[in-house]
Amino acid sequence: MRLFSNIFTIAFVFALINMANAQQNKNEKHNEQVTIVGSYDPSINDAFKINSKPKIIEPEIQQTEFNFQLPDTRQTTSIKLNPIKAVTLRSGSKSVKYDNFLKAGFGSRISPYIDFYHSKTEKGNYSFNANLYHYSSFKNIKDYSASPMSNTHAKVGYQKFMNNHILDLGLNYGMKTNRFYGYVPSDWGGIDIPESELRQMFNLIKANVGVSSNYKRKSKLHHDINLSAYYYFDLYKTSEMNANVSFDLHQGFDVVDMLDYQNLGLKGGFQFYGNNDSLNNTSEFYVNAVPYFTANYGVFNFNAGLNFGIKNDSSTSFHFWPEIEVQMNVVPGSFTIFAGIDGKLQKQSFYDLTTENPYLSPVAELRWLKEKFNVFGGFKLSIAQNAGFQLKTGWKTFEDMAFFVNTGDYTLPSLFPLGPLNKFFTVYDNGSRFYTEASISVRAGKNFKLNIGGEYNAYNLDSLNKAYHKPLTKAFVGGSYLFGEKAKVSAELIFNGKRYARDIYKLADIELDPYIDLNAEFEYRVDENLAVFINGTNLLNNNYLQFYSYPVQGFQIMAGITYRF
């Protein structure tokens, strides 16, 4: 039985990769599609109205038109908080449409930057979009090992609109390069690390195909089915293959006469992971199904389900969680309070962990994170479509959460490190986390926009002294102001509170200082098509430690153009 299941899952992966032509799951894909019209800039829509269910799975921040944020892992910190869903306002006048948008510049860190979008839509028939992106930096940090980096991707997406269905296709290729530069060579004069052991490069090939119904009648069987696969590998023969199938089927029923509406549904999925490195070769899969019921009674909305899961790796384990959420619309359309309870099982994949920390060792251990219990509550507030506020707080217990601890490639016979600690390995622990997340979004007319977000975490761990390299507090303030039709100023401030690292030489916990990162941009529109910009990143010129032993790049100025056609 064990052999049969592995053969089946591997065959399924290859079949899925051959048939898939899309880059991401459906939620990611929609964020990447761009229709360039009028005064459009390719940025996240303004979040000023709360009009959706507050289901926050992976918290992230919604930022305000900060196109100048470049993904230099040595410079920027990703603040991920829960967003307030946005509504796109459309002017009554007809906009001029542009199919292409180009933003290009060059920075003082010897940093070329290019971001190109193409979008073509035939209303009611199809939508096609493509994005080409590149950013690289070749300036080193004083005293440290050389630290060039680059980030490049190419993405295409296609939607076909049919009578009662939407077909989604896409494809994504990405490549990121960096070096394990987190040491001062003069401190380790007796150790000469070969160049081949300092370079790193990640390649990602990702595809997806999905189909969803758009029936107007609730009595129909509504469905949303997505298949995706990716292959991810680095320079050290570490690779990860993933295949994922997700589905959601639901239909309206009149189960109880007193309820305003009722839906019975079934959602779930299948996940396969095949991982290979120089030490291990593993394959595993997880299957889950969630029968659920949603209903409305007056000002109350209910969602209740049971999440059943089976994980198969070296052994088979069964999992079960309730999924319950209740909302009360205190002021319909303006003020809602909510509370719920759930849990989940999630693979801490090589792709996810190296996205969070690109200096991870290629042979780091990978485990599944089990959220045993997550209870949460909060509220969301919308004021006249011009301001929104959302707060969520909760407490969760977990098993096998990953934390990062510094390590090196050179060891004594006792396996104790000898040499620079310029890589990281994963350590795992059980425990609990209390969290609070909040976000505010304000819009005053079409000229002024402001977003504020924050997050607080308190960990209680069974074995580790600290939650190594997990920020305890985060905050973000960003806004933009448009002067007439010609000039626009944008700025953002990012704050990360204290974090902890483990120094295995000193056998001590190290407290990393909090930091503030300030960025700003000025853009001037020369004509309807052409604009010029200048921006500055890390304006305070702080070489703070994003990871222990890894200072970030300092101040940079970049200038360039945007052009739409």
Please give the residue range of the domain that contains residue 193.
2-155+169-200+321-564
Instruction: Check: CB of residue 144 under 8 Å from CB of residue 183.
Output: yes
The conformation of residue 417, written as its DSSP 8-state character, comes to B
Q: Which helix (H) or strand (E) holds 2?
A: helix 2-19
Residues 6+ apart with CB under 8 A from 191: 410, 419, 420
Classify residue 311: in a domain, yes or no.
no
> What three-state secondary structure class fits 17?
helix
Q: Which helix (H) or strand (E) holds 331?
A: strand 316-331
Instruction: Retrieve residue 526's tokens.
Output: 């020369």
Task: Give the separation between CA 545 and CA 469, rounded to whole angstroms.
Answer: 11
DSSP for 344-396, written as a single string: EEEE--HHHHHHH-TTB-TT----EEEEEEEEEEEEEEEETTTEEEEEEEEEE
Classify residue 342: in a domain, yes or no.
yes
Residues 6+ apart with CB under 8 A from 516: 493, 494, 495, 540, 542
Instruction: Check: CB of residue 302 under 8 Å from CB of residue 321.
Output: no
Classify residue 510: in a domain, yes or no.
yes
Classify residue 184: in a domain, yes or no.
yes
Task: Give the separation between CA 286 and CA 306, rounded to whole angstroms.
Answer: 16
Query: pLDDT of the chain along its 565 residues, tens only?
Result: 444 444 444 444 444 443 333 333 333 333 333 333 333 333 333 322 223 333 322 223 233 233 333 333 343 333 333 333 333 333 344 556 789 999 999 999 999 999 999 999 999 899 999 999 999 999 999 999 999 999 999 999 999 999 999 999 999 999 999 999 999 999 887 788 899 999 999 999 999 999 999 998 888 999 999 999 999 999 999 999 999 999 999 999 877 777 778 999 999 999 999 999 999 999 999 999 999 999 998 899 999 999 999 999 989 999 999 999 999 999 988 999 999 999 999 999 999 999 999 999 999 999 999 999 999 999 999 988 889 999 999 999 999 999 999 998 876 555 566 789 999 999 999 999 999 999 999 998 889 999 999 999 999 999 999 999 999 999 999 999 999 889 999 999 999 999 999 999 889 999 999 999 999 999 999 999 999 999 999 999 999 999 999 999 999 999 999 999 9
Tell me the backbone φ, ψ of residue 528, rounded to 5 degrees: -60, -30
Classify residue 226: in a domain, yes or no.
no
Furthest C-alpha separation in the chain: 80
Classify residue 297: in a domain, yes or no.
no
Classify residue 292: in a domain, yes or no.
no
Residues 6+ apart with CB under 8 A from 4: none
Q: Which helix (H) or strand (E) holds 155?
A: strand 149-161
Classify residue 131: in a domain, yes or no.
yes
The conformation of residue 5, written as its DSSP 8-state character, comes to H
Q: What is the pTM of this model?
A: 0.83
Task: Give the separation between CA 188 and CA 447, rounded to whole angstroms.
Answer: 54
Q: Which residues pair with 211 in a beta bridge?
A: 167, 225
- The tally of domains found in the chain comes to 1
